[in-house]
Amino acid sequence: MPPDSIYRSAWSNPEIETFRAGVRRFVTAELLPHEEAWKTQQHVDPAAWRKAGELGLLLTDLGEEWGGGGGTFAHEAVVAEELVYAGISSFGNAVHSIVAHYLHNHATDEQRRRWLPRMASGELIAAIAMSEPGAGSDLQGITTRAERHGDHYVLNGSKTFISNGYNANLVCVVAKTEPAKGARGTSLLMVETAGLPGYRVGRILEKLGQKGQDTCELFFEDCRVPASALLGPAEGLGFAQLMQELPYERTLIAVQAVAAIERAVGLTVDYTKQRKVFGKPLFDMQNTRFTLAEARTMAHVARVFLDSCIERLIRGELDTVTASMAKWWTTDLQCQVIDECVQLHGGYGYMLEYPITQMYADARVQRIYGGANEIMKEIIARSL
């Protein structure tokens, strides 16, 4: 789906567009035919991860020495965009990439060697477990505890809303290693869950949208994990590690939001041109034309802002405040534009067999996860 026939993102180039064509072929041949079945079963088949790995579509922006594609965030953006353009909301590549970045930027070489190549091949599927039933926005309130016993940690607690939760076999768990120290007593543990006694995946949660995405509860009951699961050189660095990766994950969400806006506008232009009302195409009504002209303008403004974030992220210069602006503003806009597009579809816009309806349901959570948009505004306001 070419978002714009005149404008071209400065971060793109012929090599990236060739890569995009390959991603599109993979998405069309290997993911799209299964999307409906995955929505019914509420999770992706792990085989799809291994196929994506074989084709070099996982960890595209990490070095080849770690099994990655040797590219930049531009490659990650292309994968995220192509999934959205195709209407795939089940394949949780974004979370996988975010965990890979925690590892790449904060792990020891030994830890990177242990996990990154297997993540790149799709053998390991990653999740990040921060949220708990009693603590989401206020992460300092988590109660999951990792207690050191010799060369092991004993992990106890429960997490909820964890994306990739059903399929994941590598979970980045946010836990308190020294509860009395608050944020400075919080650490990240990389937990390989296959066959781990005391680890249990709860039900796959029934959601409004993103139905093929396995969002789960996770339970840790006296789980003994090796001390080498601790991310980084010392305990207590968890919050700092989480903070440092915020621009990356917030930009990825904004990429998804802008791609969704572009797709929604394209779908609605097509629909209104073929739908007849009062003897002429719906598109010919002034309200339709103006609504879509406004939506197209907003898509373009969002694209230009996003592109500047992508370019700065590639250069390693994107700050958390700007990334928070991109996250809240593009996801709010995504919901606003898609709502207008649903309206222009009339009753068909309420029928789940229409892509715009699914996009409406998929969009809502974008304002809630990855840090609720109100949290984004708090972060921006603190900088004023």
Ligand X SMILES: Cc1cc2nc3c(=O)[nH]c(=O)nc-3n(C[C@H](O)[C@H](O)[C@H](O)COP(=O)(O)OP(=O)(O)OC[C@H]3O[C@@H](n4cnc5c(N)ncnc54)[C@H](O)[C@@H]3O)c2cc1C
Binding site for ligand X (CB under 6 A): 95, 127-131, 136-138, 161-163, 207, 210, 215, 365, 368-369, 371-372, 374-375, 378
The string of DSSP codes covering 74-130 is: HHHHHHHHHHHHHT--S--HHHHHHHHHHHHHHS-HHHHHHHHHHHHHTSS-EEEE-
Q: Which is nearer to ligand X, 29 or 352 (CB)?
A: 352
Using the minimum distance from each CB to ligand X, give the nearer residue, 141 or 281.
141
Q: Which residue in 35, 132, 217, 249 is the catalytic one?
A: 249
Of the pair 81, 214, the CB lying nearest ligand X is at 214
Tokens (6 digits) for 367: 């304002």
Active site residue 245: no
Q: Which is nearer to ligand X, 196 or 361 (CB)?
A: 361
Cβ at position 203, least distance to ligand X in Å: 14
* 93's tokens: 């590549």
Contact 88, 35 (CB under 8 A): yes
Read off φ and ψ for residue 211, nearest 5 degrees.
Answer: -70, -25
Cβ neighbours, 10 Å, residue 240: 13
CB of 294 to ligand X, least distance (A): 26
Nearest to ligand X of 52, 172 (CB atom):
172
Q: Report the 10 Å Cβ neighbour count for 221.
A: 13
Query: What one-character DSSP code corresponds to residue 18?
Result: H
Residue 188 beta carbon to ligand X: minimum distance, rounded to whole angstroms: 12
| Residue 169 per-residue DSSP state | S
Q: Beta-carbon neighbour count of residue 134 at 10 Å?
A: 11
Residue 77 Cβ, how far from ligand X at the closest point, in Å? Answer: 20
Strand 170-176 vs strand 126-129: parallel, antiparallel, or unpaired? Answer: parallel
C-alpha 208/C-alpha 363 separation (Å) is: 10
CA atoms within 13 A on the CB side of 164: 24
Taking the C-alpha atoms of residue 252 and residue 84, their distance in angstroms, rounded to an integer, is 12
| 8 Å CB contact between 164 and 90 | no
For the record, the structure tokens of 186 come out as 């919080």
Comparing CB distances to ligand X, the nearer of 75 and 250 is 250
Nearest approach in angstroms of CB 367 to ligand X is: 8
* Residue 333: how many other CB atoms lie within 10 Å: 21
CA 88, 94, 100, 101 dihedral sign is positive
| Least spacing, CB of residue 98 vs ligand X, in Å | 9
Spell 43-61 as b/e; 16+ CB within 10 A means b: bbeeebbebbbeebbbbbb
Provide, rounded to whole angstroms, the least separation between the CB of residue 133 and ligand X. Answer: 8
List residues with catalytic annotation.
249
